[in-house]
Amino acid sequence: MTSTDADPTTRPDPWHALHALLAAMDAEIEQVYEERGIQGVRPRFAYPLIRLAHTGPLTIRELAKSLDRSHSAISQTVAAMRKEGLVTSEPGPDARTRRIDLTERGRALVPFLEAEWRATHATVAELDSEIPYAMTRVVEEVRQALERRSMRERILHHLVEPPR
pLDDT at 2 over 70: no
Instruction: Kindly give, in sequence order, each residue whose CB lies less than 8 Å from that of residue 110, ignoring residues fewer than 6 positions away.
Output: 49, 50, 53, 102
Cα separation values, 15 from 12, 19, 21, 22, 141, Å = 9, 6, 10, 11, 17
Residue 7 DSSP code: -
pLDDT, tens only, 64-80: 999 999 999 999 999 99
164 pLDDT more than 90: no
Average pLDDT score over residue span 40-47 = 97
Distance between the two ends of the chain, CA-based, in angstroms? 8
* Strand arrangement, sheet containing 87-91: 58-59, 98-102, 87-91
pLDDT for 4 equals 64
Question: Of 77, 85, 90, which Cα lies nearest the Cα of 105?
Answer: 85
Amino acid 110: pLDDT: 98
pTM of the model: 0.85
At residue 54, the 3 state secondary structure works out as helix
Q: Of 22-36, 88-102, 134-148, give the lowest mean pLDDT range.
A: 88-102
Residue 1 has pLDDT above 60, yes or no: no
Span 81-131, pLDDT tens digits: 999 999 999 887 787 888 999 999 999 999 999 999 999 999 999 999 999
Helix axes 43-55, 71-83, angle to 10 degrees: 90
